[in-house]
Structure 1
Amino acid sequence: MIFRLLIPAVRWRLAGLVAILLTITATYVFQGVLVAHSLALIFAGDGFTAIVWPLVGIALLQVVRSCALALRETAALRTSGLVKAELRERLVGKLLALGPGWAQRGRTGSTQTSLVDGIETADAYVGRFLPQMIAAVVGAIAVTAYLFTLDVVVGLVVLGCSILLPVLPLVSETVLRGRNRAWFTAYKGLYAENLDALQGMVTLKAFNASRRRGAELAALAEKFCTDSIRLMAVIVLYVGGVAFVIATGTAIAIGIGAHRLVAGEITVTDLLLILMLTAECFRPLRDLEAAYHSSYNAVPSLRGVLEVLDEPVPEAGTTALGLAGPPSVAFTGVTFTYRDRDRPALRDFTLDVAPGERVALVGRSGAGKTTVAALLSRFFDTTQGRVTVNDVDIRDLPLDRLRSLVAVVAQDTYLFHGTVRHNLALGRPDATDDEITAAATAARAHEFITALPQGYDTIVGERGLKLSGGERQRIAIARALLKDAPILILDEATSSVDAANETAIQQALDTLTGGRTTLMIAHRLSTVRDADRVIVMDGGAVVESGHHDDLLTRRGAYARLVAAQQGAAR
């Protein structure tokens, strides 16, 4: 699973890590051989001088092993760190490529779990389990081959146990797969719910629902605990099975060796070598079991990462699009259905927007207005029909080029935790201070920005919560002005602003829309009076089209919307 994520640099590091582990195994093996020969000399009645050089060899092997163990820790951390950096880079790049259309299908907490916790599990899996698996197999084969030269029967016993040990993880994986999946699903769900409660703390307190929410979270935590215990039960059985196989294999090998010594078929030295090397044959396999135990939760976590990486990204075209002025925008026979819904959000929707025209989209909630904007930005692809800019299908344009053509001022302005200047320059990071100031001035934002404690260098806080709604909205307008894109989408740009701020923001919007092809999505119908054309939508289709005054005289759907809104305002 993880092998296809290993770049060449990581593979070379893994090879080096395996070499270090084999060196450690070799020091144990040669130490066992020297100990066996030393004991044989002592049993034969030789003096201390006969074992001096073996003891010196054992001491040197201890030094080599200590250095190799220290080097292993450093190499393991560097290798896993490189893998995590690669995974993070690829996962973040993939999430950005998938865009908000994909992100809206899941929960922030679940995505956060894959992005952070899922990648962190690569530490034990890549730095411990993978190299130990290779080193254990190679080391066990080498030691078993040597045991065959001492005694074929003992060699067969050790070989049988050595083969059985690597099979146990495969058997346990079959049992663990479902429980692993349930554990990780419960973990992501618990994380998402806790994050949801943290972000909605004000609402929970306002509705006196924090205790109820706490009880719900406690129930989820209890379920997660149960899933964890069920998973650990299988892990414990696997660990016990490994210990049983190792103990049984060692006992049988020594028992057979002792019987053959009594029969005169092997020497005391051979028996001592069997005693020492049987333990050394199983030692790397025992280390493999420990590595597997420490990385068992990496399998479902990394599988979650791979599921994101395997998500198909919308294919981008390569068609060049040169512009000499504001472009035309057209929706032709567009039908679109969201993934988790049965009814289409748009049905055979057709709309032609002339270069520089300001078109307002109005209608009840759920009519499909925001979907039109999302399709133009290509957060989703149409189910049927096509969207074009200057008669070029947007699917034929590079995504970067398409999105450079579009600026958005949304109903819920998102500001990142950083300075005002950083948020203003989001769409144009190379903008000069003078250009930033000019855009803020045009958006009626310069005055309140300079009144902030550090002016343009003031930290706005997470989601811009240190600013009022009107201030955030004016920063969004200045940001769109600075980007200077030829297509503008105003998605309920004044719906969350009070009447005192609405006039200033509307003036800023009038400045922003000048010379741009504009789609205005509005609930407040008073903001669309000056639009060149008003499109009334219902059920994902166009039901009326015309200028504000003309639509009022027709006394149709638009007139009813205006009357209903005016009646509600009284």
Structure 2
Amino acid sequence: MIRILFRVLGHEHTGPVRRTVSLMLATAVVEGLSYALLVPLLRALFGDTPADAWPWLTAFAAVFAAYGVLRFSSDLAGFRVGIKLLRGLYHRLGDHLARLPVGWYGAGRVGEVSTLAGQGVLQAMSVIAHLLAPSVSAAVTPLTIVAVMLAFNWQLGLAALAAVPVVAATQVWTSRSMAAADEERATRDHEATARVVEYLQAQPVLRAGGRTGERFRLLDDSLHDVQRASRRTTLSVLPGTLGLTVTVQALFTTLLALGAYLALHGDVGAAEVLALLVLAARCADPLLSLSDVAGKFRAARTVLTRLDTVLSTPPLPEAPDPAHPADHTLEFDAVTFRHGDRTVLDGVSLTVAEGERVAVVGPSGAGKSTLLQLLTRFYDVDAGAVRVGGHDVREIGTETLMSKIAIVFQHVYLFDGTIEDNVRLGRPDATAAEVRAAATAARLDEVVARLPDGWTTPVGEGGTALSGGERQRVAIARALLKNAPVVLLDEVTSALDPLNEAAVHQGIERLMAGRTVVIVAHRMRTVRHADRIVFLDAGRIVEEGTHEALLTRNGPYATFHHPTPTPPHFSTPAPPASATP
């Protein structure tokens, strides 16, 4: 488990963890040795001259004080290292998630990642802050006490030593019997989290369809599965916990009987027997805690394994010697891209000259948005190449590539902050005047002017405090502030009312001025003024040209924008049975 922990934390953090573990080991050994002084202390106390116990009592107090200092230091080190690593792990996980291909975020990933990033990371770091010290103490202190018992009386020492493999075997059996139940519980927890997220996101659709009752049942079923898994986990704990308790108590009873036998036959003094039995009893306490500590360790190991799996997922590879685009031309060279078993793009070749505006249109599922995602390297192609400025995007560093591109999506996501915070994401070091200028160009200033808190108005998680048109204006202002030479627009006006569409369209015109632009849209107003229109169908380019030229050809583009209307069909109701024909 420690190896998994080191892999999850990264090599740069192994040093502090090793030092903390070493301090905990020293603390556990000193604790065991402090109890060793009980043997001469009790021997002197119950001997002919009890006053001889004072030096041993002083030594015991000194060693116990040293143990207290070490224990405080090791616990404090565990908390400090745990907190430091908690922050480091959050950063490492966040950086890694940001580098994973978008295709990795499939069904169920939201629930899994939210659980790992929240409760999972905290549970993993509890290993260092809360579990390492008691687990080291439970293992090392009893072994130290056994060594002390061997030094004072070999018979009782050997009996205690013989108990070690019995306790270890019991603990291993307990862990194995609970592993399957722990895994099932973790799986059910992830499924329930995904159901909760799904249920919350689907509220508008469910309410519009009047199916909230059905969705309640689905969520309720997943929560019942968690309840049943928890019950099975609890039941699987009982045999191991009872078995360990019975084993430890039986071994202590055996030592008690052996000590009594040796004392009655004069092989050892009563005071020594009493001291050694106190040591044996002290061994029992940490051993009995093994079951609880081991259960927490198994839960933490499950989380660490999941974190390790995520962190081991290979990100999109970065070129060792990143190239820099010579200009702002865009090129798709015989690009083929597959998503699962489906071929989304099939041998697409397209060149967009610097400063040119190209609109991509076509039916839903044709692969239009995928073209934009390949340009931004959200995915890597399966065949062919996507080039920016003459260089394959796989040869360009991610930061360099994204600095060249501004994207405005159909569904704008705003972070839970103020309007100004979200605009500044385009260029965090922009001046206030530059932010205001970008907002004015996007007509966002009209929105800010009517909000009570102006620029400091919170937008809510995802931008829920703003309308769709207002969110689009924020996105356009953000893109204008970024001032990137390449602009990608994905259906930015498809779901807006006429007033917001007009405002957003003006902002788009300012955004596109003097830039290389690729537009995915259906609205004639958006595409008709493009320098070139590309019609995409079933992952292939079937037609391209200007708006007027494509309408003249009367091909797929003309049909797409002027579909043949289908007259409505109204069935004539049958006359009532009592009607006279």
TM-score by length of 2: 0.89
Deviation at 1:520, TM superposition (A): 0.5
Within the candidate set 2, 7, 14, 2:21 is matched to 14
Question: 2: CA distance between counterparts of 1:560 and 1:172?
Answer: 70
Moved more, 534-543 or 521-530: 521-530
Within-5 A mapping of 1:328-477: 328-338=329-339, 341-477=340-476
Question: 2: CA distance between counterparts of 1:196 and 1:279?
Answer: 53
User: Is residue 359–residue 532 contact of structure 1 (8 Å, CA) maintained in 2?
Assistant: yes
Moved more, 417-426 or 439-448: 439-448
Partner of 1:544: 543
Within-5 A mapping of 1:168-567: 168-317=170-319, 318-323=321-326, 327-338=328-339, 341-564=340-563
Question: 2: CA distance between counterparts of 1:400 and 1:253?
Answer: 68
User: Is residue 25–residue 140 contact of structure 2 (8 Å, CA) maintained in 1?
Assistant: no
What is the CA deviation profile of residues 137-176 of structure 1, one whole-angstrom value per residue up to 9, with x for unaligned ones? 3333322222223343432321222233334443333333
Q: Secondary structure at the match of 2:84?
A: helix
Gaps of 5+ in 1: none
Partner of 1:3: 6
User: Is residue 325–residue 389 contact of structure 2 (8 Å, CA) maintained in 1?
Assistant: no
What is the CA deviation profile of residues 92-138 of structure 1, one whole-angstrom value per residue up to 9, with x for unaligned ones? 11112225333345432221100011111135422343343334433
Question: 2: CA distance between counterparts of 1:175 and 1:345?
Answer: 47
Q: Secondary structure at the match of 1:189?
A: helix
User: Is residue 253–residue 274 contact of structure 1 (8 Å, CA) maintained in 2?
Assistant: no
Q: Does 1:37 align with 2:47?
A: no
Give the counterpart letter for 2:135 in structure 1.
M
Question: 1: CA distance between counterparts of 2:88 and 2:50?
Answer: 56
Q: Secondary structure at the match of 1:436?
A: helix
Give the counterpart letter for 2:329 in structure 1.
S
Question: 1: CA distance between counterparts of 2:31 and 2:147?
Answer: 18
What is the CA deviation profile of residues 429-462 of structure 1, one whole-angstrom value per residue up to 9, with x for unaligned ones? 0001111111112222222223322222222222
User: Is residue 387–residue 393 contact of structure 1 (8 Å, CA) maintained in 2?
Assistant: yes
Question: 1: CA distance between counterparts of 2:101 and 2:421?
Answer: 21
What is the CA deviation profile of residues 486-535 of structure 1, one whole-angstrom value per residue up to 9, with x for unaligned ones? 11110001111112222222222122112211110112244210111111
Root-mean-square deviation (CA, aligned residues, Å) is 2.6
Question: 2: CA distance between counterparts of 1:148 and 1:10?
Answer: 32
Within the candidate set 77, 96, 99, 1:97 is matched to 99
Among the aligned pairs, what percent are the same residue? 33
User: CA 1:168–1:397 in 2, change beyond 3 Å: closer, same or farther?
Assistant: farther
Q: Secondary structure at the match of 2:121?
A: helix
Give the counterpart letter for 2:444 in structure 1.
A
User: CA 1:427–1:286 in 2, change beyond 3 Å: closer, same or farther?
Assistant: same
User: CA 1:432–1:567 in 2, change beyond 3 Å: closer, same or farther?
Assistant: farther
Moved more, 53-62 or 359-368: 53-62
Q: Secondary structure at the match of 2:343?
A: coil
User: CA 1:477–1:123 in 2, change beyond 3 Å: closer, same or farther?
Assistant: closer
User: Is residue 39–residue 276 contact of structure 2 (8 Å, CA) maintained in 1?
Assistant: no
User: Is residue 192–residue 226 contact of structure 2 (8 Å, CA) maintained in 1?
Assistant: yes
User: CA 1:431–1:104 in 2, change beyond 3 Å: closer, same or farther?
Assistant: farther
Give the aligned length.
560
Partner of 1:152: 154
Deviation at 1:202, TM superposition (A): 4.4
Moved more, 538-547 or 198-207: 198-207
Question: 1: CA distance between counterparts of 2:564 and 2:26?
Answer: 76
Question: 2: CA distance between counterparts of 1:467 and 1:261?
Answer: 84
Partner of 1:117: 119
Question: 1: CA distance between counterparts of 2:280 and 2:99?
Answer: 54
Q: Secondary structure at the match of 2:381?
A: coil
User: CA 1:285–1:124 in 2, change beyond 3 Å: closer, same or farther?
Assistant: farther
Give the counterpart letter for 1:300 in structure 2.
T
User: CA 1:566–1:130 in 2, change beyond 3 Å: closer, same or farther?
Assistant: farther
Question: 2: CA distance between counterparts of 1:291 and 1:532?
Answer: 68
Give the counterpart letter for 2:530 in structure 1.
A
User: CA 1:92–1:170 in 2, change beyond 3 Å: closer, same or farther?
Assistant: farther
TM-score by length of 1: 0.91
Question: 2: CA distance between counterparts of 1:351 and 1:88?
Answer: 41
User: CA 1:128–1:224 in 2, change beyond 3 Å: closer, same or farther?
Assistant: same
Gaps of 5+ in 2: 568-581
Within the candidate set 95, 107, 110, 1:108 is matched to 110
User: Is residue 140–residue 162 contact of structure 1 (8 Å, CA) maintained in 2?
Assistant: no
User: CA 1:109–1:20 in 2, change beyond 3 Å: closer, same or farther?
Assistant: same
Moved more, 363-372 or 185-194: 185-194
Question: 2: CA distance between counterparts of 1:390 and 1:377?
Answer: 13
Q: Secondary structure at the match of 2:425?
A: helix
Question: 2: CA distance between counterparts of 1:487 and 1:35?
Answer: 83
Moved more, 132-141 or 116-125: 132-141
